[in-house]
Amino acid sequence: NWMLSKIARVAKPSQLRFFSQAANEPDFLEQVGMYFDEAAKHTEIPEDVLNIIRKPNVTIKFNLPLKRDNGKFESIEAYRCQHSHHRLPCKGGIRYAEDVNANEVEALASLMTFKMSLTDVPFGGGKGGVKFNPREYSMAENERITRRFAMELAKKGFLGPSVDVPAPDMATGGKQMAWMVDTFKVLYGEKDVNNFGCVTGKPMSCGGIDGRPEATGLGVFYGIRTLLDYEPFCKHYNFTPGVRGKTVIIQGYGNVGSWAARFFENAGSKITGIVEWNCGIYDKKGIDVETAIKYFEEKGTFKGFKCEKYIEGGAEAQKIMEEDCDILLPCATEKSINLSNADKIKARIIGEGANGPTTYDAQKIFDKKGSVVVPDLLLNSGGVTVSYFEWLKNIQHVRLGRLIKGWEQKSANQILDVLKTPYSTEKMQDVIKGPSEKDIVYTALDDTMSKASIETFLLAKEKGVSMRVAGYIIAISKVAFCYRDAGITIQTAQSEILKQTLQQKKK
């Protein structure tokens, strides 16, 4: 089905897992805990509070009944984890994959908490998954699974603009989010005027926001560009400033990787390598990004693509990550850089576009080598940041910039009249035009990523730790500050009140 193939383009779950060769290393949830514990040592947060921050608040598992197109029935496992309620709603993607499990969902949900805390997005972390391969089911079957999943989440209090707001993740996209918001609207639309805010990552026609599809890849670019434009960072790690002229290899050419490639190329970087699930290409002279995207979308492979080197097979293609380059962007899946390949990777900067692509042991290897890992909880946060903007748009019921664009344009006209500057008509229109929604999204995302990147680097330098550990320190501390100021004893207080009420009734 052509449309389903386009929808699932962001990731092919069972196939992307070929990237991971870290079978003997701790699982994803354990590694998040290891990073958490390492960072916690650098804080003064009491252990009992750290325990509350560390553990997921609630994880549910349930089964979705499905009637296949052939009339047979199946039962499909589904999960949703709400890691932290220190802020509401909870926020995190929905992934479709055959190997989804509770551990993975809880790890990703906890990572969402820390990711949003680091970038000051006021949500608690969440994550969900449905255990199936969407490419093995028809479009109608995918729709039935998605709508039933949304219905069950809503019934259980795990879907709604004020409680839990999912978004796309592996093998999901705008179409799935449109089905989910439509299901929620049918069930609760007359009771909740903010119903379009129950999910993000929607198509524009369903309350989406301009700039969301490219947001994660753009966030990857903004984060690394900010650091390489920041003199103290370049001096500390002995880098030449700027992204212009830097060579970049990208692992995973889906939504995140392909958009990141576009932005780096537009800024003057050279894309020299691309690794996909079934093959890879390398050319030290550079690869044209748009040509590569179109070629792979049409043929499903890079075989026959004009380049210096073509490698068949996903496992073999991983070796392209070991080629000489300045920046490596792992944008595929968890644990793709591990003990089997970390010491062979020559890139000085590893920018994590995926969630958890570098294992704990691989991180230690990079630390010893002097390579800088810009971590996922910082660099991968562009998507959820723009999801926050979309959520704001939905609950405010107005497109970003709609109320100010005309006024700003009028003000600019008045300034030009006063200055009487001899601008050309084309230049004048560029000066006076108000901001579009995409202008606002890009500017706000740039500001968010720049602030968080500099903050993380400065703490890493001050503490003498990796940027990952620094990011966790900042994130954990912000959650702890919220608990400190708001308190975490409301359930105990309610229990005490109930106990006193029962005693009074007995009297």
Residue that has been written with the tokens 């309610």 in this structure: 494
Helix (H, G, I), strand (E, B) or coil at 271: strand
Task: Write the DSSP string, 238-251.
Answer: T--SSSTT-EEEEE
Catalytic residue among 127, 175, 246, 393: 127
What is the Cβ-side half-sphere exposure of residue 317, based on CA atoms within 13 angstroms?
27
Rounded distance between C-alpha atoms, residue 228 and residue 121, angstroms:
24
Residue 342's nearest CA partner among 332, 330, 331, 353 is: 330
d(CA 274, CA 252): 7
Q: Do 33 and 53 contact (CB within 8 A), yes or no?
A: no
Alpha helices in 77-214 (DSSP H): 102-118, 139-155, 174-188
Q: Work out whether strand 90-96 and strand 124-130 pair parallel, antiparallel, or are unpaired.
A: parallel
The residue assigned the tokens 């709609």 is: 402
Tokens matching residue 180: 């989910």
Reduced 3-state DSSP string for 360-413: HHHHHHHHHHCCEEECHHHHCCHHHHHHHHHHHHHHHCCCCCCCCHHHHHHHHH
Tokens of 200: 């993000």
Alpha-carbon distance 251 to 11, whole Å? Answer: 12
Residue 155 catalytic?
no
Residues that are catalytic:
127
